[in-house]
């Protein structure tokens, strides 16, 4: 199989599951080729072979930027990528963190300890307006897309609940049904001034015909207890939408694949300065003067890794792309033979985890609780 990169270059990645030595190597040959004809797919595609005799799932991670402050245009862009992935036979498609609504990279929202600026408040108003309600019309459209293209869809969004925002992942099945969501339980650093905190009620792992699917977002993937909760639910296809394009992210993804004995699919945005509004409407604090419109502000690094720690596709740092691999589900059992973190390699009499998986609400009305209890009887 091969990958095509936009305009005039071609990336070839080869691996054969029948050859054990091929499982630990990737061969990437860059070569100039003529510009593709107009009917050639619009986006880069990285594709990986697998043993045709094994049960496989074709998965794609999308590496692309949000159309910032323009949610309808971002949804249109998502559909173009979904159509492209479906054309390659993908059954599961994963989008980056905050793809719908946008990742506010470089923004301080005018906040310092003890004060907020008028511009920062206006920045938040616009960001809030770009977020989506769950459920809501944008969720309905995403569900329709998943059904139209017959794919399982994992989508990073900024969720709006009243006037609090959450960094959220939404899950849809291939019949066009919304399955549920995961809210990021721990925003990182300045993210905490614009995003709320998820609770234990939204750490789902969904059993599907293509495997047990769940997600953790960006640096919450570094939280050992959160990962353990997901392992305890039997996750097999671990989705990791992120905003981290540093080299160290790859080590985190490989570790999770090995630790969990699961496939890891990490999707990140590839963004240039021009993908965000120009200054002074939007300012990258502290570095704006050093940036040109073509400066890369997020370099991607999207990757797919097997349960044995083999990099199946990626990481890609070249631009917007579809990055795909055929997941041999037999690899899960092969990996768990070595190490089953919540099974034969656990010591529950010494170390165990309790997860409080009920919703936590700031306000609860007893009359509503009584009605809820009555409805359950």
Is 254 inside a domain boundary? yes
The confidence score (pLDDT) of residue 369 equals 60
Q: What is the 3-state secondary structure (H, E, C) of the chain?
A: CCEEECCCEEEEEECCCCCHHHHHCCEEEEEECCCCCCCCCCCEEECCCCCCCCCEEEEEEEECCCCCCCHHHHHHHHHHHHHHHHHCCCCEEECCCCCECCCCCCCCCCEECCEECHHHHHHHHHHHHHCECCCCHHHHHHHHHHHHHCCEEEEEEEEEECCEEEEEEEEECCCCCEEEEEECCCCCHHHHHCCCCCCHHHCCEEEECCEEEEECCHHHHHCHHHHHHHHHCCCCEEECCECCCCHHHHHHHHHHHHHHCCEEEECECEEEHHHCCCCCCCCCCCCHHHCCCCCEEEECCEEEECCCCCEEEEEECCCCEEEEEEEECHHHHHHHHHCCCCCCCCCCCCCCCCCCCCCCCCCCCHHHHHHHHHHHC
The confidence score (pLDDT) of residue 377 equals 55
Tell me the pLDDT tens digit for each residue of 58-90.
999 999 999 999 999 999 999 999 999 999 999
Residue 90, domain extent: 56-338
Our count of domains for the chain comes to: 1
Is 150 inside a domain boundary? yes
Is 29 inside a domain boundary? no
- What lies within 8 Å, CB to CB, of 253 at 6+ separation is 221, 240, 264, 266, 303, 305
Is 80 inside a domain boundary? yes
The confidence score (pLDDT) of residue 182 equals 98
Query: What distances in angstroms separate CA 192 from CA 130, 181, 188, 223, one per listed residue?
Result: 18, 19, 6, 16
- pTM for this predicted structure: 0.84
Tell me the pLDDT tens digit for each residue of 341-371.
999 999 999 999 999 999 998 898 988 665 6
Is 99 inside a domain boundary? yes
Q: Assess whether 159 carries a catalytic annotation.
A: no
The confidence score (pLDDT) of residue 375 equals 58
Is 354 inside a domain boundary? no
Q: Catalytic: which of 97, 191, 259, 320?
A: 97
Q: Are 324 and 92 contacting, i.e. CB atoms less than 8 angstroms apart?
A: no
Is 182 inside a domain boundary? yes
Q: Are 2 and 12 contacting, i.e. CB atoms less than 8 angstroms apart?
A: yes
Among all chains, which residue has been given the structure tokens 């305890």? 232
Q: Are 85 and 151 contacting, i.e. CB atoms less than 8 angstroms apart?
A: yes
The confidence score (pLDDT) of residue 9 equals 27
What CATH number did the domain enclosing 288 receive?
3.60.110.10
> Which ranges of the chain have pLDDT less than 50?
1-53
């Amino acid at each position: 199989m091969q990958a095509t990169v936009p305009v005039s270059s071609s990336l070839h990645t080869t691996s054969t599951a029948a050859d054990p030595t091929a499982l630990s190597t990737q061969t990437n040959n860059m070569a100039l080729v003529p510009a593709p004809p107009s009917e050639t797919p619009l986006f880069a595609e990285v594709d990986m072979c697998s043993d045709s005799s094994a049960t496989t799932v074709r998965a794609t991670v999308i590496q692309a930027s949000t159309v910032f402050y323009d949610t309808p245009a971002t949804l249109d862009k998502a559909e173009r990528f979904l159509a492209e992935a479906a054309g390659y036979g993908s059954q599961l498609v994963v989008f980056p963190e905050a793809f719908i609504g946008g990742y506010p990279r470089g923004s301080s929202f005018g906040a310092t300890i003890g004060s907020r600026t008028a511009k920062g408040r206006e920045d938040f108003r616009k960001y809030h307006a770009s977020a989506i309600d769950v459920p809501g019309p944008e969720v309905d459209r995403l569900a329709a897309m998943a059904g139209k293209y017959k794919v399982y869809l994992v989508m990073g969004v900024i969720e709006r609940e009243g006037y609090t925002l959450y960094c959220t992942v939404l899950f849809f099945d291939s019949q066009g049904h919304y399955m549920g969501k995961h809210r990021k339980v721990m925003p990182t650093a300045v993210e905490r001034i614009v995003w709320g905190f998820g609770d234990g009620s939204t750490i789902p792992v969904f059993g599907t015909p293509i495997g047990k699917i769940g997600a953790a977002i960006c640096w919450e993937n570094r939280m050992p207890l959160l990962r353990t909760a997901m392992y305890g639910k039997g996750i097999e296809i671990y989705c990791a939408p992120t905003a981290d394009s540093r080299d160290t992210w790859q080590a985190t993804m490989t570790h999770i694949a090995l630790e969990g004995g699961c496939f890891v699919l990490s999707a990140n945005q590839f963004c240039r300065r021009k993908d965000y509004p120009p200054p002074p409407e939007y300012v990258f604090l502290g570095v704006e003067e050093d940036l040109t419109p073509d400066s890369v502000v997020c370099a991607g690094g999207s990757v797919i890794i097997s349960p044995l720690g083999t990099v199946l596709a990626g990481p890609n740092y070249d631009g917007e792309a579809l990055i795909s691999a055929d997941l041999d589900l037999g690899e899960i059992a092969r990996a768990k033979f070595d190490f089953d973190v919540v099974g034969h390699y656990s010591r529950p009499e010494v170390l165990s985890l309790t997860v409080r998986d009920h919703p936590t609400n700031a306000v609860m009305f007893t009359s509503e609780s009584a009605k809820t209890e009555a409805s359950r009887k």
